[in-house]
Structure formats: structure tokens, C-alpha cells
Structure 1
């Protein structure tokens, strides 16, 4: 039975550290989203807008703690300063612990505590039994560690949102009199004409009307090499102009540009977390509630079970509160997921959410559209044959001059393959059903497909049949009704395809090519690339059915296509990858987009996904090991509050930093 994306890929609003968030956002492949549940959010990035107050109060608390510890000898004054330290340094911990537990509990009509309440109770408990210094130390280390966590985890989010700073703000609008006026990008309308000077940021999407340049499109495609642009070429907002000057016409509103679509994807990526992260966040309130139940039972039972005094039992109970806190567990998935998304975004691979990146590691099948995904997307000359090699150069020169008069895609391929050797003046006519015809030096030439009723010499027949069986298009050149040459063309596999298919096979992932082309053409490409299965003569509306069958037979399936005629299949697949090449349509449809048609970035994304899964499980096992270790040491009497806080917060930072390793580019295999 095939399940839908929304069922397979639970999402949640982005959370961090030991924070809570009870919202779920379902991002659909068509770009729509809707939220469910309670959207109240509180995390350690201080979205409740405390400003700089917590840091200022923390600094005051730290100073008071050091004064009390080093200079004050009066016990009453010393303990008073420790209490003030708890209240100042722990301001945001206490406020969030109490207020947000209350608000979440009321909004959800059930007890929903957070980890801050555990730390607040532990500090209060330590002070209640006279250990004011350790209560103050607990708050200082806990609050200080959280400021560091904020910075560490924020780094992965900042890596992604750096592109927001690339948003163009001004444009040089050409006035009626030809002068230019600097205006805000938001006032531009479709049809406006702009001037772009050397070094300018291109303000919006459009086409070049005059001039030419080289454009750095790395903010859109991730491609570091500048791309040459000339008249009628498309340019994208946020990209950087090189040394040329050009005029352009605006073709899209500012909110519909490719860059705007990318920003939207980034926003979705930061709010759509992985299944593991979602499960952890759902588990956290239950875990904290269990700790709040277990600790009082532990305190009451310890004097009878271990023979401790009541003061020792209460103290050990406070240490247990700290040791069992799920901070490290809560931070196991989110920073790692954001780091992986950031790593890929900088390389032109954009995900609409962490769930898609996380699930990529589990795929069992990949289906490819042929044209433009596995292949170059345009025909290329692959073979030539001429009956007289001594005349080949002259005949090819005639072919070049004949094709100069044509705008057919095959003409472009031939003009790219062959060069003019001598200037000719030909009168070329395009005869429907026959091809191009001309006369030169008294001889009649025709360039087109072989006519069906023509009797062919054996060598021509053999060449033609062999190339046709390979899925190639064959064009013949006739001289006075006699075939003198054959030219074979084909949409050839791009340079990256073979390596990507080989990688997927090494991972045990089944590969299928889906194409609307004839079976012989599809099988020729599939054989060259060593693809497992071919589905040919497929209409766009039937592609989704093939994906559904793959999901039933193999398991989770990815579809890679151009994002337009592959739309039904991209939506049906567990993860739809659009080979965007900068198209906003692809971004709207797919779950992930490769901004230029470089298939190697897909295999790189799969490797990042596998590493993400490994890092998350490392973090989960490590965080739970630390909890168990601290609890056991506490029961054995080998742990105090200070060491417990250091070990606990240290483990949380280690987990976050381990996740941030995914910001580092993976080494080539």
C-alpha cells in the first residue's frame, strides 16, 4: 500500500535545545502549508523577545557569585548574594520554566513541563537545604551553557539565512527620456526596463535587451563559475553582474522571482524538521513529567533503601533532577539537520524541510526522467559517414551553410559539431517533408531524413539501421539524388549520469528511467548508463502510476525530473527532486531542487543524508549514556551538583557541536 507524503513525513516547527514547540506544519509539494495544533513556541533562541536583559542579568549574577565566593566572609551576606545570583543569572531560566510550563499546560489542557522547570526546582531545592553556593553554581553553568548553545546552534541557521542578505534592494530604472533613476526593487513592474552596470547586483528576474556580460549565479545555482549572458538570455535577481553593462526587461514581480522562491524554501526548511526530531520533541514533555514524578519518590524512598539522611536524600534528588534532564537528547537532531540543509544549500541543493533530507537516507528506488535529467537535453552529433572521405570536408561545409538557414534543434547540434571551412553563398529552401534543399556548382543537394521508398546501398543501409537501433536520429546528405553522407544525432547522457547511477547501485538502490521517447531510444541510453529498468513511451499523466508501482515493489522512492511535465510523478514520489536549472516552477513543485542540472549533487545529498542519520543516532546514544552514567554515579554518592551540571551541559554542547560537523563539506569518494 502506498502512503502519502504527509503521512510519511511528519514535521514540526523548528525547535532547539531543550525547548518545546507543539506545532506541526505540513508542507505540500505544491508549496502550500497549513499548521495544526498549538503554535505557541518557546525555544532557546529567545523568540519570546527578552532582548539583551538575560545576558545583562547573567553578567550581574556572575559578578555577585565571584564576590561572594572570593571576598565575603559573612555567611548571611554570602548566602544572600548567592540567592541574588540565582535570581539574576537564572532570570530567563526561571521565567521560561514557570511561565511557559503554565501557559503550555493551560493551552493544551494537560501538564506540559519543560526542562527549565527542572533546573529551577533543582536550584531552589539546593538553596532550601542550605547549599546556596551549589544552587547558584547550577544556575550559572546551566544558563551560561544555554547562551553557548544558542550561539552554536544558531550558527547552522545563520549559514542558511546568509542568503537573505543577498536580497536586492535597488534598481536603475530607465526613464522615458533615457535617463536612469535609482528606485526600490519593490516598485518595479513587469515590462520595466533597467540598466545594470559592472559589479551591480541584478535587481530582479528578466531578460537582456542589449549588451552582454558574465554573471555570477552562485546565489541561485551554487555554480561558482560565471555564466556568459547576451541578448534575450534570462537573468536572475540577487545574482552579481561582472564587467559588462546591459539593459534588461523585468519579467516577474519581486515576490515571484527565483530568489524569492529560494527564500521561501529556506523558511520552510527551517520549520520542517525530521521525523526523529519531531519524535524527540513529542517525547520531551513526557520525559520531564516522568522525572518530576520519579524525583519525589526517589527522595522519599532513599532514606529507607540506602540509609541516607533526609538532607542527603534531598540533595541527591536535586542532582537526579539535573542528571536526568533531556537537554542533550533534545538537541540530538535539530542542529544536525539544519547543518545538513545548510551544507547542501551552499552547493545549490535546496530542501523544503529536514524531513526530506532525513528520509533520503532510507530510499530504495530512484526514478529518473530522461531528457534534461540523465541527458544533456539537446541533440548532439555522435557519428558521421561519407562515401568519399576526400570530399568529406567540402560536403560538411555545404551542410554547415545549409543549416545556417534553419532554426531546427538538429541544425544547432550540427553547427556546434562542424565548422565552416570556406564561405559559400547558397540559396536554401526548406521543403516540408523533405528537408533543406539547395544547388551548388550545378549539383542539387538535400539534407534531411532518408526517404522511406529510396533504395539504399548496402553500406548506407547497414550504417543507418545500426544507428537507428541505438536510438539515434539519422540525417542524410544527398547529391543529385544519391546519398553521399550520413550524420547521426542523439540526446547523449550528461557527464555526471554514469557516476551517479554507479553510486546508487553500490548503495543497493534500484534505478529506473521514465521517458516519453520510443523504447529503442530509452533502452539505448539505459544500456549506456547501466540503469536497471526502462519505462518508455510514457505520457506525463502515467508517470505517477509508475512511481506508485515502484513504491509498492521496492519501497521509498525518489523521482528526479525537470519539474514541469514530471509534476505528477514528483508529487507522488516520497521525495521529488526537480532538476531546476534556476526555474521557479521546479521550486514550486518539488520537495528538493538541484538548482543547476548537476546530478552529482544528488549523490552528494544522499551521502549527507546518510551522515546525518549516523550523527543523530550517535547523539541519541551518547546523550542517554551520559544520563544513565550520571544517575548511577549519583546513587553511588560519587556526584555533586557542580560536577553534574558540568557533565550534563558539557554533553549537550558536545551533541550540538557533533551536529555542526555537517556544515563541513564531505570529502569526495
Structure 2
């Protein structure tokens, strides 16, 4: 086993909380009100100016206490708590800002100390807004969780009950415009349902008797009754909420690394402070007052505010964007891995293909009444429950239904007798009286990976029907995209080699691995990892679960099994491979924006430090440039909430 695979494990419960709170939850509206009081106090201080220094300094002091009380509390309070928890000194950025403000006040620069707090606190609230912006999507989802259901009682009357009292097997009535309470199957009525909360698609889906409906989706103009098939805590929508809430706690490696480095970085800055202070008089020839002032500017200049905001808002904005598009991500770490894939393996049935066979070709003997023969074939197939029978019935809808006595013979297929003539539908090997023409056609269609059935009249073949599980509409474009960006594509299938290669050729896939037993899929993924590097796996069934866990990124189709969705890292809610292409493109963009932010924030720090030692920097300019860089970084991250124009087609 490769070391890559050996080290890979999917523990989806990791909470990457390293003591730095990125929720910035300061207790609702109170801090905002206090901030604006502080801002007004600062403006009053500016109004008094140099003519009324005492009153101005009182206003600036009030500004520091009201606008920045939470900065001071987080600076000292969180540092003490994190230090006790980690059992080593663990300061944060807020401590630097609090110390810089205290230093400015100590040397009599009340105005600059207040300016520092007012601008830092303002940028802090902006970062909280951006973090909250992506999480508000989650709160909106939570508000969409159904709370009531209209149950049909044994006497036929209805009663509104809490949705958590609904049991599997209950019959519910859903009125027009209602929210569907839980997952189930329609028993009576027809309607259209807005399923955008599940799959991101805005076009309502038509629903008839026997169709599945999902909790939280919105019923259209029809009224229907449904049988409950899932407990409200186990619905597709509940799983979505669990996945998306979980994704908030799992950050990218870069974001996690920045969080881990923050206390170490701040500790280093504080250790350097005495050296900076002493270098003024002894190296640069400054007075002690100038040196202390420059040391305060140094604390502001090297504070990693922009660096701390480089990755987390970017990651959360990306996850939020994808969740609106019907792509659920269990954490930012998996988005980073998705962007770095070198190979991707696809299960064939239900992933690259629609999972249901359809009629692709049919031909009948010249001189035969084709309409009459098709009526006979459809009437026979309606008495079979084979998947191929469904495909044939769907191919020839609205046919005349004949009352036939049909016999299903093992190895020979379906047969019936009409006016002393025996008609039979069966596999080619069950017929011996086959013309050269039909033998040729059967060989050609079989070579294309199609399943062929012969239609016989008194054991003489008079026609054939070819069927195939055809590629879904997005498969070819998705495979083409992944190949274009240098990712090796593989199709894994349990089908015969001929069938697998025929589908692979249609899609344009690099490699086809056929005749695969379910238990072998994980081993194939491991081989791909050894050969190419980071490997993704797409699947929809229980038998795909081991391969999904083994892969660096496991992707499940939303229409697949619960097991596949539980173990996967990404879920495509609409079984739409173009959404995976979009997720890959956005993950690459996320990585690019994160590193843009990191480079920019470090560049600003270096420039501010150099200008400070050259004597070209004061606290006011330092604060404006420093917090300006933080705001620039946050606004850059905010771009990930918007779908880029070049991806809109996806």
C-alpha cells in the first residue's frame, strides 16, 4: 500500500478549532451600538482638536473604551484562556492592537490610539460580516426545515401535527403551496414540486403517483397524498443540513496552518518588541520618545490581521457558493484536495450513465406489419418485470394492449401464441434459426456494447431490439474537461470488457477497467494513487463506499444510496457531472485567491515595517494602510460568493 493511501483517512468529525474564533460573535447588536458610540466620540474629539486638548482626549478615551472594549477583552481574555488551555503562551492579534493602543495613550497620542481602535474594530466587524454572509446561507436552510405535517387519520379526516411526530408508513396530505414535511412516495394526485433546496435546480419537477418527493421542497398547484418513507431526522434535506454545518468546521490546510501559526507569530512579534525599542536610541539615534512611538507603529505594522483573513472567509464563501449550486462539501480541506487531483475514477452505472437501459436500435423483417408486431411485443413485455422490458415499453408508448397469455421460460425469454403462431422474445443464443443478416447485425451491435434481443415468429428470427445504458448528458463534457486540465480519467465497471469499452469510447475516457467485482474497486483506486498521485472517485452505490473512502476525494451522486453519501467528501445533489466540473474550477479559484491574499498581506507588512524604520510612517497612516489591506483581502474573498461569468454555463 502506498504511503499516500496509508495516511489517508476520512474522519469527518474533525473540528479544526485552534483557539481562534472566526465566528466573531460578540453578543448581537450591543457591540455594534457601542462601536457607533465610539465613532461619534472620536469625531467629537476631532472637533475639539488642539484648542481643547483635555476635552478632546476625554472623547478619544471614551472612543477607545466603547468602540474597542471587545477588542481589549478578546486581546487579553482570549490570550489568557488559550494560554491556560495550551499550557503555553498563546497570544492573538487583538492583544497586539490593545498593546499598541495602550502604548499610544501612554506617550500622549490619544487621537492616534482612538483612530487605531476605530479602524481596527470597523475592519473586524467587516470580517465578521463576510464570515456570517456565507453562514447565513446555512441559517436560511435551517429556517426551511419543515415543522408541521397534515396527517390523514383512519376515518379520512386530516390533522396538523409536529413533523417530528410523523412515523414511517403514515399517510400525509400536502396542499398546494405547502412545504413537503418529509421524504415519501405519492399515493394519489399529481403536481409539480420546486426541489431547488435539494438539488439547486430552479425548474419545478412534475410528480405523479409512485414518484418520490423530498422533505423541505415546495409543492406547486396540485394537492396530493403521500406515504412517509423516512423519519424526519433521516431525510435527504436533514443530511444536507448535517453536511453543510459540518463543512463550516473543516478548513483548508492553508487556513488551518495560518490559525496554528498565529499565536507563534504574535509571540515572535512581542519578543522582538524590546529589540525594536532598544534599536532606536542605540542604532538609529532616536530619542526614547521617538523610539517608543516607532515601536507602537511596529506593533501595528506587523500585526497579521490581513494574513489571518486570507483563507477562512475565502473557504467559507466557496462552500456557500457550491451549496447554492447543489454541490455539498464536507469541508474546505476536501476542496483543496479536489483542486489538486491528478486522476479521477468513475463508477459507470448511474454515474457516467443514466443507470437505466434504453432502446438504441430496432429493426424488423421487410413485409411484416410493424405496428402489429410492436403491439404484440409491448403487450408481452408488460407481463415481465425485467429492466429491459421497461425500456422497451418506454420506447413504444401508447400501444394497443392485447390480452395475451405469456409464458416466461428460463433461458428462452417470453413467448405467446396468437392464432396458432408462436411469438418469442429472447437472447440471441436461444435461437437456432437465424439469417446471416441478423447474425451480422447482432455482432455489430454487441461490439458497440449493446444488449441484443431477438424477436422470433415460429422460431424464425424476424427482428431484433438493441438496448444500452447510455451515457448521461453531462458525462462527455465532464470527462473532456478533466482531460483538458491534465487529470487522468478512468471508468470502473462490472460490465464485460466489450460493453465497458464501448461506453468509454463514446465518452472519450482515458482508461476502462471492466469485469470489476465490487470489492476490487478500492484496490483499483489505490493503484491509481500509486501511479498518478491524488485520486478522486465518483460513485452512487453501496458497493462504491470502500473506494470512496480510499480515494483522496470521494464524490457521491445525490440520487445514490445513503451509505455512499455518508462516506463521500462531496455530494452532487442533482447527479449532474457539470456541477463537479464547476466545483473543480471554483476550488482552483479558491486556492488562487487564498494565495493572492497571503502574498498581498505579507507584502504590506514588509512595506510598513521598512517605512517605519525609515521614519516615513506614523500611527494614523500605519493603521489606515494596515486595516485597508485587511479590507482588500476580505473583499477579494467575497468574490467567491459570486459565480464567475465564465462558469455560468455550468
TM-score range, shorter chain: over 0.9
User: C-alpha distance in 2, partners of 1:168/1:4?
Assistant: 43
User: Deviation of residue 473 (structure 1)?
Assistant: 0.9
Q: Secondary structure at the match of 1:430?
A: strand
Match of 1:336 in 2: 314
- 1:15-55 Cα shifts (integer Å, max 9, x gaps): xxxxxxxxxxxx62xxx52558xx674525334x5343322
- After superposing on structure 2, the runs of 4+ consecutive aligned residues of structure 1 that deviate more than 6 Å are none
Q: Secondary structure at the match of 2:417?
A: strand
User: Deviation of residue 391 (structure 1)?
Assistant: 3.2
For structure 1, which segment, 392-401 or 544-553, has the greater mean C-alpha deviation from structure 2 after superposition?
392-401
Contact 2:195 2:202 in 1 (8 A): yes
Contact 1:586 1:593 in 2 (8 A): no
Q: Secondary structure at the match of 2:429?
A: coil
Give 2:56's match in structure 1, choosing from 69, 72, 78.
78
User: C-alpha distance in 1, partners of 2:8/2:281?
Assistant: 49
Match of 1:2 in 2: 2
Alignment of 1:249-328 (within 5 A): 249-328=227-306
Give 1:170's match in structure 2, choosing from 148, 152, 162.
148
- 1:515-563 Cα shifts (integer Å, max 9, x gaps): 1111111111111212111111111111100001100110000000004
Give 1:33's match in structure 2, choosing from 13, 27, 36.
13
User: Deviation of residue 5 (structure 1)?
Assistant: 7.6
Give 1:64's match in structure 2, choosing from 41, 45, 49.
41
Cα RMSD after superposing both structures = 1.9
Q: Secondary structure at the match of 1:451?
A: helix
Q: Secondary structure at the match of 2:617?
A: coil
Match of 2:424 in 1: 446
Matched, 1:238 2:216: yes
User: C-alpha distance in 1, partners of 2:474/2:52?
Assistant: 75
- 1:450-478 Cα shifts (integer Å, max 9, x gaps): 23461421111111111122221111111
- 1:133-168 Cα shifts (integer Å, max 9, x gaps): 111111111112211221123212223442111100
User: C-alpha distance in 1, partners of 2:8/2:340?
Assistant: 12
Match of 1:585 in 2: 563
Normalising by structure 1, we get a TM-score of 0.93
Figure out how many residues of one structure are paired with residues of the other and give that number. Answer: 646
Match of 2:448 in 1: 470
For structure 1, which segment, 566-575 or 430-439, has the greater mean C-alpha deviation from structure 2 after superposition?
430-439
Contact 1:397 1:419 in 2 (8 A): no
Matched, 1:380 2:380: no
Match of 1:53 in 2: 30
Matched, 1:436 2:427: no
- 1:245-271 Cα shifts (integer Å, max 9, x gaps): 111122222211111111000111100
User: Deviation of residue 174 (structure 1)?
Assistant: 1.8
- 1:596-632 Cα shifts (integer Å, max 9, x gaps): 2111111111111111111111111111111111111
Contact 2:18 2:259 in 1 (8 A): no
Give 2:330's match in structure 1, choosing from 352, 362, 368.
352
Give 1:90's match in structure 2, choosing from 53, 64, 68.
68
Match of 2:373 in 1: 395
User: C-alpha distance in 2, partners of 1:137/1:351?
Assistant: 41
- 1:482-501 Cα shifts (integer Å, max 9, x gaps): 10001111111111111111
For structure 1, which segment, 419-428 or 194-203, has the greater mean C-alpha deviation from structure 2 after superposition?
419-428
Match of 1:248 in 2: 226
Contact 1:328 1:652 in 2 (8 A): yes
User: C-alpha distance in 2, partners of 1:560/1:156?
Assistant: 27
- 1:320-372 Cα shifts (integer Å, max 9, x gaps): 11111101111111111111111111111101001001111100000000001
For structure 1, which segment, 643-652 or 65-74, has the greater mean C-alpha deviation from structure 2 after superposition?
65-74
Match of 2:197 in 1: 219
- 1:549-608 Cα shifts (integer Å, max 9, x gaps): 100110000000004210110010001000122753332121110012111111111111
Do the aligned partners of residues 242 and 143 (structure 1) sit closer, same or farther apart at CA in structure 2, a change above 3 Å counting?
same
Contact 2:535 2:551 in 1 (8 A): yes
For structure 1, which segment, 301-310 or 390-399, has the greater mean C-alpha deviation from structure 2 after superposition?
390-399
Match of 1:599 in 2: 577
Give 1:188's match in structure 2, choosing from 166, 188, 191.
166
Do the aligned partners of residues 599 and 90 (structure 1) sit closer, same or farther apart at CA in structure 2, a change above 3 Å counting?
same
User: Deviation of residue 308 (structure 1)?
Assistant: 1.5
Gaps of 5+ in 2: none
Q: Secondary structure at the match of 1:71?
A: helix
User: C-alpha distance in 1, partners of 2:4/2:541?
Assistant: 19
User: Deviation of residue 480 (structure 1)?
Assistant: 1.7
Normalising by structure 2, we get a TM-score of 0.95
Alignment of 1:113-152 (within 5 A): 113-152=91-130
- 1:52-71 Cα shifts (integer Å, max 9, x gaps): 33223222222222222213
User: Deviation of residue 288 (structure 1)?
Assistant: 0.8
